[in-house]
Amino acid sequence: MTMADIQTVAVIGSGAMGAHIGMVCALAGCRVTLVDLNADALGGARTSLEQFTQRSVEKSKLTARERASAFDRLAFSTELAPAVAEADLVIEAVIEKLDVKRALFADLDELCPPHTILASNSSSLMPSQLADATARPDRVVNLHFFNPALIMRCVEVVRGPATSDQTQAAVVAFVHRIGKEPVVLKKEIPGFVANRILNAVRDEAISLLEDGVADIADIDRACRTALGYPMGPFELMDLTGLDIGYYVKRERFELTGDPRDQPQRSLAELVESGRLGRKTGHGWYRYDEHGSKEELDNTTEHDTVKTDNMAEEI
């Protein structure tokens, strides 16, 4: 399988990630079928892609003709078997549950032609956790896109111990072809590269706070003004949802047993009291009804940054 061979793609799961991944591939000229068990999810994906790409046309990032031909190449279906019957590459983007993904990979192995590469977009599960659900472990790999996939350029390519060099070369070439930047991991590791670095920054920020070294707003300010980050780690946690990071850490701790992987006390207290970030109006910071950040007791008075503005920068 070479890059030229990947013409037909099936994306399984039409949620936040799958919808964008399907459109990225269709814009690059592939024939794509976006599959979901849930017809409403497929309808929602179509609507959100129509709106997103319409805005891209209005901003002159895409022509109306390119948009129309991409939609001509993109089919929506609740039927798995016909969608994957001629697929050269399947990208799985369903719910982050190992048993669901393993059952799906076993089905895909039965339904796909022998040459098909099976890729997972999982943020944390490694290829070796899925490969042995199939009879083609050499053609199982992770292609980890970032959210929102139509904008973010990075795709992490993660090979398991059984993934062949040929599979890796084919998907790296494919990632280039769809206009993304592949980041190739030489071996699998939970969390991969970008999220491990992000998590390390978050852990250090929380540790500086819990050790009384600096306040939340000052730690965020250091990251923005000294390191050039578009937003500080506490602001970013509030944006993505504190519960996400909390559950990722809990799962990591279950896997490793390493006390450093346990959710920190201050993070656990916030999540357990329902302070999940911007979506609940209160996380590390408090937000008013317009989404503007209000002062917390432990923030400095001169902090007037609004995270809603920064959210547009990333």
Ligand X SMILES: NC(=O)c1ccc[n+]([C@@H]2O[C@H](COP(=O)([O-])OP(=O)(O)OC[C@H]3O[C@@H](n4cnc5c(N)ncnc54)[C@H](O)[C@@H]3O)[C@@H](O)[C@H]2O)c1
Selecting among 14, 123, 142, 235, the annotated active-site residue is 123
How far the first Cα of the chain sits from its last, in Å, is 35
Give the span between the Cα atoms of 311 and 96, in whole angstroms: 25
Q: Is 124 a catalytic residue?
A: no
Asked if 264 is part of the footprint of ligand X (rule: CB under 6 A), the reply reads: no
Selecting among 156, 188, 235, 282, the annotated active-site residue is 156
Three-state DSSP state, 12 = strand
Q: Is 156 a catalytic residue?
A: yes
Asked if 12 is part of the footprint of ligand X (rule: CB under 6 A), the reply reads: yes
- The rounded radius of gyration (Å) of the Cα atoms in the chain is 21
Give the span between the Cα atoms of 185 and 75, in whole angstroms: 32
Enumerate residues 120-149 that contact ligand X by CB under 6 A: 121-123, 145-147
**Angle of the 194-210 helix axis to the 216-225 helix axis, nearest 10:** 140
| x-or-dash string of contact with ligand X, 142-181, rule CB under 6 A | ---xxx----------------------------------
Element (H, E) at 26: helix 16-27
Asked if 16 is part of the footprint of ligand X (rule: CB under 6 A), the reply reads: yes
Asked if 117 is part of the footprint of ligand X (rule: CB under 6 A), the reply reads: no
Q: Is 294 a catalytic residue?
A: no
Query: Would you say 14 or 163 has its CB closer to ligand X?
Result: 14
Question: Min. distance of Cβ 244 from ligand X in angstroms?
Answer: 8
By residue count, the chain amounts to 314
Give the span between the Cα atoms of 139 and 117, in whole angstroms: 5
Nearest Cα neighbor of 277 from 265, 297, 291 is 291
**Torsion angle defined by CA atoms of residues 100, 103, 106 and 111, in that order, rounded to the nearest 10 degrees:** -90
Query: Would you say 158 or 216 has its CB closer to ligand X?
Result: 158
Enumerate residues 55-94 that contact ligand X by CB under 6 A: 93-94
Count the Cβ atoms, other than its own, within 10 Å of residue 214: 16
Query: Would you say 74 or 93 has its CB closer to ligand X?
Result: 93
Query: Would you say 123 or 163 has its CB closer to ligand X?
Result: 123
When binding is defined by CB under 6 A, the residue of 17, 62, 87, 175 that contacts ligand X is: 17
When binding is defined by CB under 6 A, the residue of 39, 68, 81, 100 that contacts ligand X is: 100
Nearest Cα neighbor of 27 from 60, 62, 52 is 62
Asked if 96 is part of the footprint of ligand X (rule: CB under 6 A), the reply reads: yes
Give the span between the Cα atoms of 245 and 61, in whole angstroms: 33
Asked if 36 is part of the footprint of ligand X (rule: CB under 6 A), the reply reads: yes
Three-state DSSP state, 241 = coil
When binding is defined by CB under 6 A, the residue of 1, 6, 13, 270 that contacts ligand X is: 13
Q: Is 60 a catalytic residue?
A: no
Asked if 190 is part of the footprint of ligand X (rule: CB under 6 A), the reply reads: no
Binding site for ligand X (CB under 6 A): 12-18, 35-38, 41, 93-96, 100, 104, 121-123, 145-147
Q: Mind telling me the catalytic residues?
A: 123, 144, 156, 195
